[in-house]
Structure 1
Amino acid sequence: MGSLTEAIRTTFAYERQAGTRVYKGKVEHFLIGNAPHGGYIISLCTNATQQHQSSTPHRDPAHLAAQFFSPCQPGAVQVEVKTLSASKRWTRLDVSLMQYSRTDDVASSPVERVRLTYLYTDLPHPAEWGSSPNADNLSVLPWSESPFARPTPLAQHPSELREAKMYPSFQFRDVVKWSELVLIGPEDSPDPSAAPFQRMHSAFYWSQVHEEDDVTKNVELVCFFADMFMNGPELIQGAHQEVGRKYWFPTMTLSLDFKAKFPLVGVPGAPSGSSPSKSTVGIYFATKSISEGRHDQTVEVWTSPGGIGEGDAKLGGPEWRQEAQLLAVSTQLALVIPYSVNEKIANREDDKSSKL
């Protein structure tokens, strides 16, 4: 199975008179059961927008918002990108992911599966941020002297952890791996006597197998990581195994804030001077409410000091948590529906509407 970087690659096809540029791609392998993974789809769309913006002053994605109208199917897709506005500081893009209603049958009608809006800008280089925030510099570095400088929520070094078993429904489990759950740092952990719902959060490390999947260089991969987590209903004590077998958790909407400029560099002023892992990131996730299965999800993507079960925590020094960089924060609305709905996706014909 190929790399994620290869699987999200799109190529420019043509430009319409209205100014919309069309990119061709192919959805394959990165499936949850029979449905393409939502973060993978957003990564594919972001690959197209990166090409669209490559010759402009605004090459850094700052924000995106996505609505999933109906699940994609494996096969050919078109990503249509149009510039809505471009000012001195911001460029706004309108993006649609299209598929033929009968996949790969050009005689069938096109269906819009996902609609996205992007904000692009020119993010500052970390070296320009300064060591501590002030009236002229409102950036808070992980290693700044400010009490508001928050370390990564992951309190365990990845070298201390073992690889955990991947869900059978992950069709891409041969090229990725995740760690066992990680202890949460005291900055993000509620008092032990707090209400149980305040503990509906957790974290783990996530690694790519292929060397081509370099998270320090490719911002498009962050979209995939920002949709990798355990859903809130799975975190309810005693519900994990039962919920995981019976249900599917499709994403309805997802917004993503990008917090770092790519390619990544080390944190200015950090004492160790070490570089983040190219293959591994830390994922912190939390759910605030669940209503008849409909639930919110917040996911933070952080750099990792190394790979899962690799290296020595002592080599990075005690400062590794402060030196981690926050790459992105996503929020989403997801559902809990019977897994049988996922199983039917592969057999649907001429589907023009959502079955969620």
Structure 2
Amino acid sequence: MAPLGKAISDGYDGPPDVDSDTKVYRGDVDPEWTVGHVPNGGYALALVLEAGIQHQSSTAHRDPIHVTAHFLQATSIAPFQVRVRTLKHGRGFTNILADLVQQDRTRIATHIIFGTLEPPRLAPPSRYARRVPLYVHPSVAVETRMARPWGFKHHAKWAGDPHLRAHNLPDSPARRDVSSTTVGGGTLAWGAWFELVGPGERVTPASIAFFADTFLNMPSLLPRDERGGLVPDQTWFPTITLTISFQAPIPPPSARHSARTVGLYSTGTFWGQPQGRHDAYVEVWTAPSDLGQGIEKDGWRENQVCLATATQMALALPMEVNAGRAKYDAPPKAKL
């Protein structure tokens, strides 16, 4: 039971085993970084990323650039292996395959590209550069409740952006009726400042996988009469695929950039059947300060950097399925 940084990096119990071209990293899933009874998908992917980062640590290509993950089966609170194999080593990039395995079953299969991250070329003051899409500075942001069955709530806190929530109201200018000639529309948005509160917590490349999977999705943001009976706090949203593109290196802590807080922004557009399949787009940004700290200064948005963008496909299932998943993976009881 540990803060996020330790739950990721301290999960490995020694040097990797070497078998042919595959290195095997072993560890234990922390029991607190869960949604209901199942490990958070982003946390589980962070374990895979950390193994890949260790695998590449002595090479010229140390930075994760892009990861595509397929969640073949929910992970469990149990020992795990990450089996890493180099697929291709080139001049600019190294491609590796990394699978998280539990109980001899592949739970997560990933393809990760490593290379060298550099500061973005398209940045302010360019008029074409994207700025952090949150309205409220962390120093004045109001902490909001984490309502979901997240086992890690005491390790973190967040402050949702009220301006983005207003975007989702039925009478918002973003909503359009059937007679409107406006093209597109319909997208829901959400954003928040997210702070890790454990001692010594830091934003790391591996932890970005967790941040990219921690947000309020489209089914949760819809008005109650549009949800078709779905109750967010009684629903499990398992990730099926998750793709992360790392956009910039993490800046060192300074008066401009927090060490433990990030800005999260997400949008969702499509939700349908079967099994409540829906999409999400997420951006992970640096933050100018921790919640309730710092001073709002002119131009603070210009100094923030988008660390990563992510897209995912997820489902909407009853929490009973989540609990059943845990029972399925429980070790058999010893006979008396």
TM-score bucket of the superposed structures, by smaller chain: 0.7 to 0.9
CA distance in 1, matches of 2:16, 2:95: 21
Across the aligned residues of Structure 1 and Structure 2, the Cα RMSD in angstroms comes to: 2.5
Quick check: 1:69 aligned with 2:52?
no
Amino acid at match of 2:110: L
Aligned to 1:305: 288
CA contact (8 A) 1:12 1:21 kept: no
Match for 2:107 among 110, 113, 132? 113
Quick check: 1:46 aligned with 2:49?
yes
Quick check: 1:339 aligned with 2:319?
yes
1:207-222 equivalence runs, <5 A: 207-215=195-203, 218-222=204-208
Q: Deviations over 1:323-344 (max 9, x none)?
A: 1100000100000111110111
Q: Deviations over 1:94-151 (max 9, x none)?
A: 0110011xxxxxxxxx111010000001123x3xx6xxxxxxxxx201x23x210121
CA distance in 1, matches of 2:292, 2:8: 28
- Between the two proteins, the alignment pairs up a number of residues equal to 313
Quick check: 1:291 aligned with 2:260?
no
Aligned to 2:236: 248
CA distance in 2, matches of 1:177, 1:265: 22
TM-score for both structures, normalised by structure 2: 0.87
SS at match of 1:159: coil
Unmatched segments (≥5 aa) in structure 2: 166-171, 178-184, 332-336
Amino acid at match of 1:52: H
SS at match of 1:257: strand
CA contact (8 A) 1:154 1:182 kept: no
1:254-273 equivalence runs, <5 A: 254-262=242-250, 264-265=251-252
Match for 2:122 among 100, 124, 140? 140
Evaluate the alpha carbon distance shift between residue 311 and residue 275 of structure 1 in structure 2; reply closer, same or farther with a 3 A threshold.
closer
Quick check: 1:203 aligned with 2:157?
no
CA distance in 1, matches of 2:41, 2:311: 13
SS at match of 1:67: strand
1:1-356 equivalence runs, <5 A: 1-9=1-9, 10=12, 11-17=14-20, 19-28=21-30, 29-100=32-103, 110-124=104-118, 126=119, 139-141=121-123, 143-144=124-125, 146-184=126-164, 192=173, 194-195=175-176, 198-215=186-203, 218-238=204-224, 243-262=231-250, 264-265=251-252, 274-292=255-273, 293-313=276-296, 317-349=297-329
Residue 219 of structure 1, CA deviation: 1.1
The share of aligned pairs that are identical, in percent, is 33
Amino acid at match of 1:324: Q
Evaluate the alpha carbon distance shift between residue 97 and residue 349 of structure 1 in structure 2; reply closer, same or farther with a 3 A threshold.
closer
SS at match of 1:7: helix
Residue 166 of structure 1, CA deviation: 1.6
Residue 193 of structure 1, CA deviation: 5.4
SS at match of 1:160: coil
Query: Please, which moves more after superposition, 291-300 or 193-202?
Result: 193-202
Residue 184 of structure 1, CA deviation: 4.2
TM-score for both structures, normalised by structure 1: 0.82
Residue 279 of structure 1, CA deviation: 1.1
CA distance in 2, matches of 1:121, 1:205: 29
SS at match of 2:48: helix
Aligned to 1:105: none
CA distance in 2, matches of 1:304, 1:12: 34
SS at match of 1:155: coil
SS at match of 1:50: helix
Query: Please, which moves more after superposition, 232-241 or 110-119?
Result: 232-241
SS at match of 1:49: helix
Amino acid at match of 1:140: L
Unmatched segments (≥5 aa) in structure 1: 101-109, 130-138, 186-190, 267-272, 352-356
CA distance in 2, matches of 1:254, 1:71: 14
CA contact (8 A) 1:155 1:321 kept: no
Query: Please, which moves more after superposition, 29-38 or 195-204?
Result: 195-204
Residue 168 of structure 1, CA deviation: 4.9
CA distance in 1, matches of 2:255, 2:328: 50
CA contact (8 A) 2:264 2:283 kept: yes
